[in-house]
Chains A and B, each alone.
Chain A
Amino acid sequence: MTDAKPAAREATRTSELRHRLRKHVPAAVLFVLGLVAWEGLIRAFDVESFVLPAPSEIGSRLVDQWSVIMSAAGNTMIEVIGGLTAGVVLGVTVALISVRWEAAREGILPFAIATNAMPIIALAPIANNMFPVTSPVSKMTVVAIVVFFPVMINTVRGLTEVGTGELELMRSFAATPRELFTKVRIPSALPYFFSALKVASTLSIIAAIVAEYFGGPQDVLGQYIIAKANLFVFPDAWAAILVASAIGIAFYGIILGAERLVMSWHVSLRATEAG
Protein backbone atom coordinates (compact mmCIF):
# COMPACT_ATOMS: atom_id res chain seq x y z
CA MET A 1 0.00 0.00 0.00
CA THR A 2 2.69 2.47 0.95
CA ASP A 3 5.26 1.16 -1.49
CA ALA A 4 2.97 0.79 -4.51
CA LYS A 5 4.63 1.73 -7.77
CA PRO A 6 3.56 5.11 -9.18
CA ALA A 7 2.03 3.45 -12.24
CA ALA A 8 0.04 1.07 -10.10
CA ARG A 9 -1.06 3.94 -7.93
CA GLU A 10 -2.15 5.83 -11.04
CA ALA A 11 -4.15 2.80 -12.12
CA THR A 12 -5.92 2.51 -8.78
CA ARG A 13 -6.65 6.21 -8.92
CA THR A 14 -8.34 6.01 -12.32
CA SER A 15 -10.28 2.92 -11.29
CA GLU A 16 -11.32 4.75 -8.15
CA LEU A 17 -12.48 7.67 -10.28
CA ARG A 18 -14.45 5.33 -12.51
CA HIS A 19 -15.91 3.71 -9.41
CA ARG A 20 -16.98 7.07 -8.08
CA LEU A 21 -18.52 8.15 -11.39
CA ARG A 22 -20.43 4.90 -11.61
CA LYS A 23 -21.76 5.52 -8.11
CA HIS A 24 -23.30 8.80 -9.25
CA VAL A 25 -24.84 7.49 -12.47
CA PRO A 26 -28.17 6.37 -10.94
CA ALA A 27 -28.76 9.76 -9.29
CA ALA A 28 -27.93 11.61 -12.51
CA VAL A 29 -30.24 9.41 -14.56
CA LEU A 30 -33.06 9.88 -12.06
CA PHE A 31 -32.52 13.64 -12.12
CA VAL A 32 -32.75 13.85 -15.90
CA LEU A 33 -35.77 11.52 -16.00
CA GLY A 34 -37.46 13.63 -13.34
CA LEU A 35 -36.94 16.82 -15.33
CA VAL A 36 -38.25 15.20 -18.52
CA ALA A 37 -41.33 13.85 -16.72
CA TRP A 38 -41.97 17.23 -15.10
CA GLU A 39 -41.71 19.03 -18.46
CA GLY A 40 -43.88 16.38 -20.15
CA LEU A 41 -46.66 16.49 -17.53
CA ILE A 42 -46.82 20.30 -17.56
CA ARG A 43 -47.18 20.30 -21.36
CA ALA A 44 -49.55 17.32 -21.55
CA PHE A 45 -52.01 18.72 -19.00
CA ASP A 46 -51.49 22.37 -19.88
CA VAL A 47 -50.72 23.30 -16.27
CA GLU A 48 -50.78 27.05 -15.63
CA SER A 49 -47.37 28.45 -14.80
CA PHE A 50 -48.60 30.03 -11.53
CA VAL A 51 -49.41 26.52 -10.31
CA LEU A 52 -46.14 24.98 -11.43
CA PRO A 53 -43.97 26.26 -14.28
CA ALA A 54 -42.12 23.85 -16.56
CA PRO A 55 -38.37 23.45 -15.95
CA SER A 56 -37.64 24.92 -19.37
CA GLU A 57 -39.55 28.06 -18.42
CA ILE A 58 -37.75 28.38 -15.08
CA GLY A 59 -34.46 27.90 -16.92
CA SER A 60 -35.17 30.59 -19.47
CA ARG A 61 -36.32 33.02 -16.74
CA LEU A 62 -33.13 32.30 -14.82
CA VAL A 63 -31.05 33.24 -17.86
CA ASP A 64 -33.15 36.35 -18.39
CA GLN A 65 -33.04 37.50 -14.74
CA TRP A 66 -29.47 36.30 -14.15
CA SER A 67 -27.85 39.58 -13.12
CA VAL A 68 -30.73 40.64 -10.83
CA ILE A 69 -30.93 37.25 -9.12
CA MET A 70 -27.15 37.01 -8.75
CA SER A 71 -26.97 40.40 -7.08
CA ALA A 72 -29.76 39.38 -4.68
CA ALA A 73 -28.09 36.02 -4.06
CA GLY A 74 -24.79 37.78 -3.28
CA ASN A 75 -26.44 39.90 -0.58
CA THR A 76 -28.26 36.92 0.88
CA MET A 77 -25.00 34.99 0.97
CA ILE A 78 -23.34 37.78 2.95
CA GLU A 79 -26.08 37.42 5.57
CA VAL A 80 -25.76 33.65 5.59
CA ILE A 81 -21.97 33.63 5.88
CA GLY A 82 -21.96 36.31 8.58
CA GLY A 83 -24.71 34.66 10.62
CA LEU A 84 -23.35 31.15 10.16
CA THR A 85 -19.87 32.21 11.25
CA ALA A 86 -21.18 34.05 14.30
CA GLY A 87 -23.49 31.17 15.27
CA VAL A 88 -20.77 28.54 14.85
CA VAL A 89 -18.16 30.54 16.77
CA LEU A 90 -20.64 31.19 19.57
CA GLY A 91 -21.89 27.59 19.64
CA VAL A 92 -18.38 26.12 19.77
CA THR A 93 -17.21 28.62 22.38
CA VAL A 94 -20.14 27.90 24.67
CA ALA A 95 -19.64 24.16 24.17
CA LEU A 96 -15.94 24.35 25.02
CA ILE A 97 -16.53 26.46 28.11
CA SER A 98 -19.41 24.37 29.39
CA VAL A 99 -17.51 21.09 29.01
CA ARG A 100 -14.26 22.39 30.43
CA TRP A 101 -15.84 23.89 33.55
CA GLU A 102 -18.71 21.98 35.05
CA ALA A 103 -20.04 25.03 36.92
CA ALA A 104 -20.32 26.85 33.60
CA ARG A 105 -22.25 23.94 32.13
CA GLU A 106 -24.81 24.05 34.93
CA GLY A 107 -25.19 27.80 34.43
CA ILE A 108 -25.19 28.05 30.65
CA LEU A 109 -27.02 24.97 29.38
CA PRO A 110 -30.56 25.94 30.51
CA PHE A 111 -30.26 29.23 28.63
CA ALA A 112 -28.75 27.55 25.58
CA ILE A 113 -31.62 25.08 25.50
CA ALA A 114 -34.09 27.94 25.88
CA THR A 115 -32.81 29.56 22.67
CA ASN A 116 -33.72 26.35 20.85
CA ALA A 117 -37.35 26.75 21.92
CA MET A 118 -37.41 30.28 20.50
CA PRO A 119 -39.52 30.47 17.30
CA ILE A 120 -37.30 32.41 14.91
CA ILE A 121 -40.17 33.50 12.69
CA ALA A 122 -41.44 35.47 15.65
CA LEU A 123 -38.02 36.94 16.18
CA ALA A 124 -37.41 38.04 12.59
CA PRO A 125 -39.61 41.18 12.49
CA ILE A 126 -38.21 42.28 15.84
CA ALA A 127 -34.61 41.75 14.79
CA ASN A 128 -35.31 43.87 11.73
CA ASN A 129 -36.03 46.81 13.98
CA MET A 130 -33.04 46.29 16.24
CA PHE A 131 -30.61 47.43 13.57
CA PRO A 132 -30.71 50.03 10.76
CA VAL A 133 -33.10 49.00 7.97
CA THR A 134 -30.35 48.57 5.39
CA SER A 135 -28.03 46.67 7.69
CA PRO A 136 -27.56 42.93 7.07
CA VAL A 137 -26.80 42.49 10.80
CA SER A 138 -30.46 41.91 11.68
CA LYS A 139 -30.62 38.91 9.30
CA MET A 140 -27.27 37.69 10.54
CA THR A 141 -28.61 37.78 14.10
CA VAL A 142 -31.54 35.56 13.17
CA VAL A 143 -29.25 33.16 11.30
CA ALA A 144 -26.79 33.05 14.21
CA ILE A 145 -29.49 32.18 16.72
CA VAL A 146 -30.81 29.39 14.52
CA VAL A 147 -27.32 27.99 13.95
CA PHE A 148 -26.18 28.30 17.55
CA PHE A 149 -28.17 25.49 19.11
CA PRO A 150 -27.40 22.50 16.89
CA VAL A 151 -23.72 23.43 16.81
CA MET A 152 -23.51 23.90 20.57
CA ILE A 153 -25.41 20.79 21.59
CA ASN A 154 -23.64 18.50 19.11
CA THR A 155 -20.22 19.80 20.07
CA VAL A 156 -21.03 19.26 23.75
CA ARG A 157 -22.09 15.70 22.98
CA GLY A 158 -18.92 15.04 21.01
CA LEU A 159 -16.73 16.48 23.73
CA THR A 160 -18.40 14.48 26.48
CA GLU A 161 -18.97 11.14 24.72
CA VAL A 162 -15.43 9.90 25.22
CA GLY A 163 -15.14 6.22 26.14
CA THR A 164 -14.16 5.21 29.67
CA GLY A 165 -11.21 3.35 28.15
CA GLU A 166 -9.77 6.56 26.71
CA LEU A 167 -10.40 8.41 29.98
CA GLU A 168 -8.67 5.70 32.03
CA LEU A 169 -5.81 5.57 29.57
CA MET A 170 -5.19 9.30 29.93
CA ARG A 171 -5.50 8.92 33.69
CA SER A 172 -2.84 6.19 33.66
CA PHE A 173 -0.52 8.63 31.87
CA ALA A 174 -1.28 11.20 34.60
CA ALA A 175 -2.43 13.59 31.87
CA THR A 176 -3.71 17.00 32.94
CA PRO A 177 -7.35 17.99 32.27
CA ARG A 178 -6.02 20.31 29.60
CA GLU A 179 -4.17 17.48 27.82
CA LEU A 180 -7.25 15.28 28.04
CA PHE A 181 -9.16 18.12 26.42
CA THR A 182 -6.81 18.90 23.55
CA LYS A 183 -5.60 15.39 22.78
CA VAL A 184 -8.80 13.39 23.26
CA ARG A 185 -11.97 15.42 23.71
CA ILE A 186 -11.55 17.89 20.84
CA PRO A 187 -10.59 15.32 18.18
CA SER A 188 -13.46 13.08 19.36
CA ALA A 189 -15.86 15.96 18.93
CA LEU A 190 -14.91 16.71 15.31
CA PRO A 191 -17.34 14.23 13.68
CA TYR A 192 -20.19 15.63 15.79
CA PHE A 193 -19.14 19.18 14.96
CA PHE A 194 -19.18 18.51 11.23
CA SER A 195 -22.61 16.87 11.26
CA ALA A 196 -23.88 19.90 13.16
CA LEU A 197 -22.27 22.19 10.61
CA LYS A 198 -24.07 20.40 7.77
CA VAL A 199 -27.43 20.86 9.48
CA ALA A 200 -26.55 24.45 10.35
CA SER A 201 -25.60 25.39 6.79
CA THR A 202 -29.01 24.33 5.50
CA LEU A 203 -30.83 25.99 8.38
CA SER A 204 -28.92 29.23 7.88
CA ILE A 205 -30.20 29.72 4.34
CA ILE A 206 -33.78 29.05 5.42
CA ALA A 207 -33.39 31.48 8.32
CA ALA A 208 -31.89 34.22 6.16
CA ILE A 209 -34.64 34.04 3.51
CA VAL A 210 -37.43 33.93 6.11
CA ALA A 211 -35.90 36.95 7.86
CA GLU A 212 -35.80 38.77 4.50
CA TYR A 213 -39.55 38.21 4.01
CA PHE A 214 -40.14 40.62 6.91
CA GLY A 215 -38.56 43.58 5.17
CA GLY A 216 -35.23 45.33 4.88
CA PRO A 217 -33.12 45.88 1.76
CA GLN A 218 -34.89 44.86 -1.47
CA ASP A 219 -31.89 43.40 -3.27
CA VAL A 220 -32.01 39.98 -1.56
CA LEU A 221 -33.48 36.59 -2.52
CA GLY A 222 -36.32 36.67 0.01
CA GLN A 223 -37.58 40.05 -1.17
CA TYR A 224 -37.13 39.06 -4.80
CA ILE A 225 -39.27 35.95 -4.32
CA ILE A 226 -41.98 37.88 -2.47
CA ALA A 227 -42.06 40.68 -5.03
CA LYS A 228 -42.30 38.28 -7.97
CA ALA A 229 -44.95 36.19 -6.24
CA ASN A 230 -47.00 39.31 -5.55
CA LEU A 231 -46.81 40.14 -9.25
CA PHE A 232 -47.79 36.57 -10.18
CA VAL A 233 -44.49 36.11 -12.02
CA PHE A 234 -43.96 32.66 -10.51
CA PRO A 235 -41.33 31.35 -12.93
CA ASP A 236 -39.02 34.17 -11.77
CA ALA A 237 -39.66 33.26 -8.13
CA TRP A 238 -38.87 29.64 -8.95
CA ALA A 239 -35.63 30.71 -10.61
CA ALA A 240 -34.63 32.47 -7.36
CA ILE A 241 -35.57 29.39 -5.33
CA LEU A 242 -33.39 27.33 -7.64
CA VAL A 243 -30.45 29.64 -6.93
CA ALA A 244 -31.11 29.50 -3.18
CA SER A 245 -31.03 25.69 -3.38
CA ALA A 246 -27.78 25.83 -5.35
CA ILE A 247 -26.24 27.97 -2.61
CA GLY A 248 -27.37 25.45 -0.02
CA ILE A 249 -25.82 22.57 -1.96
CA ALA A 250 -22.59 24.55 -2.46
CA PHE A 251 -22.30 25.24 1.29
CA TYR A 252 -22.94 21.59 2.04
CA GLY A 253 -20.29 20.57 -0.47
CA ILE A 254 -17.70 22.92 0.99
CA ILE A 255 -18.33 21.54 4.48
CA LEU A 256 -18.11 17.98 3.17
CA GLY A 257 -14.76 18.81 1.57
CA ALA A 258 -13.44 20.39 4.75
CA GLU A 259 -14.58 17.34 6.69
CA ARG A 260 -12.67 15.00 4.36
CA LEU A 261 -9.59 17.17 4.71
CA VAL A 262 -9.69 17.44 8.51
CA MET A 263 -10.73 13.93 9.47
CA SER A 264 -9.75 11.50 6.77
CA TRP A 265 -9.29 9.00 9.62
CA HIS A 266 -12.99 8.84 10.40
CA VAL A 267 -15.07 5.71 9.75
CA SER A 268 -17.56 7.46 7.48
CA LEU A 269 -14.86 8.88 5.19
CA ARG A 270 -12.41 6.01 4.83
CA ALA A 271 -11.47 5.38 1.23
CA THR A 272 -12.85 2.03 0.12
CA GLU A 273 -9.96 -0.43 0.22
CA ALA A 274 -8.91 -1.61 -3.24
CA GLY A 275 -11.97 -0.39 -5.14
Chain B
Amino acid sequence: MSDSPVVRARNLGKTFGKGSDRVEALRGIDLDIESGEFVSLIGPSGCGKSTLLRLIGDLVPASSGELTVNGKSPQQARLDRDYGIVFQKATLLDWRTVTKNVELPLEIMDEEARSERAASMLDLVQLSDFAKHYPWQLSGGMQQRVAIARALAFEPSLLLMDEPFGALDEMTRELMQQEVLRLWQQTHTTVVFVTHSIPEAVFLSTRVIVMSARPGRITDRIETQLPYPRTVDTRESAAYYDKITEVRESLRRGDRQ
Protein backbone atom coordinates (compact mmCIF):
# COMPACT_ATOMS: atom_id res chain seq x y z
CA MET B 1 0.00 0.00 0.00
CA SER B 2 2.77 2.43 0.86
CA ASP B 3 4.21 2.07 -2.67
CA SER B 4 1.08 3.15 -4.51
CA PRO B 5 -0.10 6.74 -4.04
CA VAL B 6 -2.94 7.48 -1.61
CA VAL B 7 -4.57 9.68 -4.22
CA ARG B 8 -4.04 9.17 -7.92
CA ALA B 9 -5.82 11.31 -10.52
CA ARG B 10 -5.41 11.04 -14.28
CA ASN B 11 -7.00 13.50 -16.70
CA LEU B 12 -9.71 14.08 -14.10
CA GLY B 13 -12.52 16.45 -15.09
CA LYS B 14 -15.70 17.79 -13.54
CA THR B 15 -18.46 19.83 -15.14
CA PHE B 16 -21.56 21.15 -13.43
CA GLY B 17 -24.85 21.89 -15.17
CA LYS B 18 -25.96 21.43 -18.74
CA GLY B 19 -26.32 23.51 -21.89
CA SER B 20 -25.69 27.22 -21.40
CA ASP B 21 -25.39 26.74 -17.61
CA ARG B 22 -22.55 24.32 -18.12
CA VAL B 23 -19.51 25.17 -15.99
CA GLU B 24 -16.25 23.33 -16.34
CA ALA B 25 -15.00 23.20 -12.74
CA LEU B 26 -11.97 21.01 -13.37
CA ARG B 27 -10.08 19.93 -16.48
CA GLY B 28 -7.22 17.51 -17.03
CA ILE B 29 -6.15 17.05 -13.41
CA ASP B 30 -3.12 14.77 -13.03
CA LEU B 31 -2.07 14.37 -9.42
CA ASP B 32 -0.34 11.80 -7.21
CA ILE B 33 -0.36 12.22 -3.45
CA GLU B 34 1.99 9.87 -1.63
CA SER B 35 1.41 8.40 1.80
CA GLY B 36 2.44 10.76 4.60
CA GLU B 37 2.42 13.89 2.43
CA PHE B 38 0.82 17.16 3.50
CA VAL B 39 -0.50 18.65 0.27
CA SER B 40 -2.21 22.02 -0.01
CA LEU B 41 -4.46 22.99 -2.90
CA ILE B 42 -4.34 26.74 -3.43
CA GLY B 43 -5.82 29.06 -6.00
CA PRO B 44 -8.34 31.86 -6.61
CA SER B 45 -12.00 31.19 -5.99
CA GLY B 46 -13.52 29.20 -8.81
CA CYS B 47 -10.30 27.26 -9.46
CA GLY B 48 -11.99 24.05 -8.34
CA LYS B 49 -9.77 23.32 -5.32
CA SER B 50 -12.75 22.46 -3.11
CA THR B 51 -14.32 20.47 -5.93
CA LEU B 52 -11.15 18.42 -6.28
CA LEU B 53 -11.21 17.69 -2.55
CA ARG B 54 -14.87 16.70 -2.76
CA LEU B 55 -14.15 14.38 -5.70
CA ILE B 56 -11.49 12.64 -3.60
CA GLY B 57 -14.01 12.36 -0.73
CA ASP B 58 -16.74 11.01 -3.05
CA LEU B 59 -19.04 13.87 -2.06
CA VAL B 60 -19.52 14.63 -5.77
CA PRO B 61 -18.90 12.24 -8.67
CA ALA B 62 -16.26 12.95 -11.34
CA SER B 63 -17.39 13.67 -14.89
CA SER B 64 -14.36 12.26 -16.70
CA GLY B 65 -10.92 10.76 -16.19
CA GLU B 66 -9.79 8.41 -13.45
CA LEU B 67 -9.41 8.84 -9.73
CA THR B 68 -8.37 6.30 -7.11
CA VAL B 69 -8.05 6.64 -3.36
CA ASN B 70 -5.88 4.00 -1.69
CA GLY B 71 -6.03 2.12 -5.00
CA LYS B 72 -9.83 1.96 -4.87
CA SER B 73 -12.67 3.96 -6.34
CA PRO B 74 -13.46 7.04 -4.21
CA GLN B 75 -16.82 5.47 -3.38
CA GLN B 76 -15.22 2.28 -2.10
CA ALA B 77 -12.71 4.32 -0.12
CA ARG B 78 -15.56 6.28 1.48
CA LEU B 79 -17.46 3.10 2.33
CA ASP B 80 -14.25 1.69 3.84
CA ARG B 81 -13.94 4.89 5.93
CA ASP B 82 -10.53 5.64 4.46
CA TYR B 83 -10.78 9.37 5.04
CA GLY B 84 -11.90 11.88 7.66
CA ILE B 85 -13.12 15.31 6.61
CA VAL B 86 -13.07 18.77 8.22
CA PHE B 87 -15.09 21.61 6.70
CA GLN B 88 -14.80 25.37 7.17
CA LYS B 89 -17.79 25.15 9.48
CA ALA B 90 -17.18 22.79 12.40
CA THR B 91 -20.61 21.14 11.77
CA LEU B 92 -20.80 19.76 15.29
CA LEU B 93 -24.19 18.43 16.31
CA ASP B 94 -25.63 20.95 18.81
CA TRP B 95 -27.42 18.32 20.89
CA ARG B 96 -24.30 16.28 21.54
CA THR B 97 -21.57 17.04 24.03
CA VAL B 98 -18.00 17.37 22.80
CA THR B 99 -17.34 13.72 23.68
CA LYS B 100 -20.52 12.53 21.99
CA ASN B 101 -19.62 14.50 18.87
CA VAL B 102 -16.25 12.78 18.67
CA GLU B 103 -17.97 9.44 19.26
CA LEU B 104 -20.42 9.99 16.38
CA PRO B 105 -18.37 8.27 13.65
CA LEU B 106 -17.40 5.51 16.10
CA GLU B 107 -21.09 4.86 16.84
CA ILE B 108 -21.80 4.58 13.14
CA MET B 109 -18.86 2.20 12.74
CA ASP B 110 -19.95 0.12 15.71
CA GLU B 111 -16.62 0.67 17.44
CA GLU B 112 -16.62 -1.01 20.84
CA ALA B 113 -14.23 1.12 22.87
CA ARG B 114 -15.58 4.46 21.74
CA SER B 115 -15.48 6.33 25.03
CA GLU B 116 -11.80 5.45 25.50
CA ARG B 117 -11.11 6.37 21.89
CA ALA B 118 -12.94 9.71 22.20
CA ALA B 119 -11.12 10.48 25.44
CA SER B 120 -7.73 9.88 23.86
CA MET B 121 -8.67 11.98 20.82
CA LEU B 122 -9.75 14.87 23.06
CA ASP B 123 -6.49 14.48 24.89
CA LEU B 124 -4.68 14.72 21.56
CA VAL B 125 -6.38 18.02 20.67
CA GLN B 126 -6.02 19.18 24.29
CA LEU B 127 -9.72 19.54 25.01
CA SER B 128 -10.12 16.94 27.77
CA ASP B 129 -11.40 19.61 30.17
CA PHE B 130 -14.28 20.36 27.83
CA ALA B 131 -15.45 16.80 27.24
CA LYS B 132 -18.89 17.39 28.76
CA HIS B 133 -19.44 20.83 27.26
CA TYR B 134 -21.83 21.51 24.42
CA PRO B 135 -20.52 22.99 21.15
CA TRP B 136 -22.07 26.42 21.77
CA GLN B 137 -20.00 26.74 24.94
CA LEU B 138 -16.76 26.59 22.92
CA SER B 139 -14.91 29.21 20.89
CA GLY B 140 -14.62 28.84 17.11
CA GLY B 141 -11.08 27.47 17.36
CA MET B 142 -12.07 24.92 19.99
CA GLN B 143 -15.05 23.81 17.91
CA GLN B 144 -12.75 23.25 14.96
CA ARG B 145 -10.41 21.20 17.17
CA VAL B 146 -13.37 18.99 18.11
CA ALA B 147 -14.15 18.60 14.40
CA ILE B 148 -10.55 17.52 13.79
CA ALA B 149 -10.68 15.06 16.69
CA ARG B 150 -13.88 13.64 15.24
CA ALA B 151 -12.34 13.29 11.77
CA LEU B 152 -9.32 11.48 13.19
CA ALA B 153 -11.24 9.38 15.74
CA PHE B 154 -11.44 6.31 13.51
CA GLU B 155 -7.83 6.61 12.35
CA PRO B 156 -8.41 7.24 8.65
CA SER B 157 -5.36 7.05 6.41
CA LEU B 158 -6.34 10.32 4.74
CA LEU B 159 -7.48 13.62 6.24
CA LEU B 160 -9.34 16.02 3.95
CA MET B 161 -9.54 19.63 5.13
CA ASP B 162 -11.61 22.22 3.25
CA GLU B 163 -10.50 25.70 4.37
CA PRO B 164 -10.81 24.56 7.97
CA PHE B 165 -9.43 27.77 9.49
CA GLY B 166 -11.07 30.19 7.06
CA ALA B 167 -13.51 31.47 9.68
CA LEU B 168 -10.96 31.90 12.48
CA ASP B 169 -9.08 35.02 13.53
CA GLU B 170 -5.39 35.32 12.66
CA MET B 171 -4.04 34.41 16.13
CA THR B 172 -6.23 31.34 16.48
CA ARG B 173 -5.44 30.41 12.94
CA GLU B 174 -1.68 30.29 13.59
CA LEU B 175 -2.22 28.20 16.72
CA MET B 176 -4.43 25.79 14.80
CA GLN B 177 -1.83 25.45 12.05
CA GLN B 178 0.72 24.46 14.66
CA GLU B 179 -1.80 22.03 16.11
CA VAL B 180 -2.51 20.38 12.76
CA LEU B 181 1.19 19.91 12.05
CA ARG B 182 1.63 18.27 15.44
CA LEU B 183 -1.31 15.93 14.78
CA TRP B 184 -0.03 15.14 11.31
CA GLN B 185 3.35 14.17 12.69
CA GLN B 186 1.89 12.14 15.55
CA THR B 187 -0.64 10.23 13.47
CA HIS B 188 1.25 9.87 10.15
CA THR B 189 -1.96 10.68 8.33
CA THR B 190 -1.83 11.93 4.75
CA VAL B 191 -3.41 15.38 4.57
CA VAL B 192 -5.04 17.20 1.65
CA PHE B 193 -5.66 20.80 2.67
CA VAL B 194 -7.63 23.38 0.71
CA THR B 195 -6.81 27.02 1.44
CA HIS B 196 -6.68 30.43 -0.21
CA SER B 197 -3.98 31.68 2.14
CA ILE B 198 -0.49 31.54 0.66
CA PRO B 199 1.38 31.71 4.02
CA GLU B 200 -0.86 28.97 5.42
CA ALA B 201 -0.20 26.68 2.46
CA VAL B 202 3.57 27.24 2.65
CA PHE B 203 3.78 26.88 6.43
CA LEU B 204 1.87 23.60 6.55
CA SER B 205 2.65 21.69 3.41
CA THR B 206 5.31 19.42 2.05
CA ARG B 207 3.96 20.35 -1.37
CA VAL B 208 1.73 23.16 -2.66
CA ILE B 209 -0.47 22.52 -5.68
CA VAL B 210 -1.18 25.81 -7.45
CA MET B 211 -4.46 25.98 -9.36
CA SER B 212 -6.13 28.42 -11.77
CA ALA B 213 -9.70 29.12 -12.74
CA ARG B 214 -11.78 28.91 -15.94
CA PRO B 215 -11.38 26.02 -16.31
CA GLY B 216 -10.05 24.80 -12.95
CA ARG B 217 -6.64 23.23 -13.53
CA ILE B 218 -3.27 22.65 -11.92
CA THR B 219 -0.70 25.20 -13.08
CA ASP B 220 2.22 24.48 -10.75
CA ARG B 221 3.52 22.14 -8.04
CA ILE B 222 5.92 23.58 -5.50
CA GLU B 223 7.93 21.58 -2.94
CA THR B 224 8.24 23.76 0.15
CA GLN B 225 11.49 22.11 1.34
CA LEU B 226 11.32 23.76 4.76
CA PRO B 227 12.43 21.45 7.57
CA TYR B 228 9.95 20.08 10.12
CA PRO B 229 9.07 20.65 12.92
CA ARG B 230 8.00 24.09 11.76
CA THR B 231 7.69 26.70 14.46
CA VAL B 232 7.36 30.43 15.00
CA ASP B 233 10.97 30.64 13.82
CA THR B 234 9.95 29.09 10.51
CA ARG B 235 7.48 31.93 10.01
CA GLU B 236 10.29 34.42 10.40
CA SER B 237 12.85 32.67 8.23
CA ALA B 238 14.01 33.99 4.86
CA ALA B 239 13.41 30.61 3.21
CA TYR B 240 9.75 30.81 4.27
CA TYR B 241 9.35 34.26 2.70
CA ASP B 242 11.07 33.09 -0.47
CA LYS B 243 8.60 30.23 -0.78
CA ILE B 244 5.65 32.55 -0.19
CA THR B 245 6.96 34.78 -2.98
CA GLU B 246 7.45 31.78 -5.25
CA VAL B 247 3.85 30.60 -4.70
CA ARG B 248 2.49 34.12 -5.15
CA GLU B 249 4.31 34.60 -8.43
CA SER B 250 3.22 31.20 -9.60
CA LEU B 251 -0.42 32.07 -8.80
CA ARG B 252 -0.07 35.31 -10.76
CA ARG B 253 1.47 33.50 -13.75
CA GLY B 254 -1.27 30.90 -13.66
CA ASP B 255 -3.89 33.61 -13.67
CA ARG B 256 -2.47 35.22 -16.80
CA GLN B 257 -2.31 32.01 -18.81
Contact = CB atoms under 8 A, between A and B. Distances in A.
A2 B84 CA distance: 31
Interface in A166-212: 166, 168-175, 179, 183-184, 187, 190
A114 interface: no
Interface residues of B, number: 24
Contacts, number: 53
Contact of B59 (A2, A171, A270): A171
B78 A165 contact: no
Contacts of A163: 91
B232 interface: no
A179 B108 contact: yes
Contacts of B91: 163, 165-166, 169
A172 B104 CA distance: 12
Contacts of A179: 108
Contact of A174 (B89, B93, B108): B108
A64 to B, nearest CB: 50
A260 to B, nearest CB: 14
A158 to B, nearest CB: 13
Interface in B88-133: 89, 91, 93-95, 104-105, 107-109, 132
Main SS at interface, chain B: loop
Interface in B1-43: none
A173 B109 contact: yes
Contact of B104 (A168, A173, A265): A173
Interface in B125-145: 132, 134, 136
Nearest to A264: B134
Interface string B179-193: 000000000000000
Contacts of A184: 93
A166 B93 contact: yes
A30 interface: no
Interface of A: 2, 163, 165-166, 168-175, 179, 183-184, 187, 190, 263, 265-267, 270
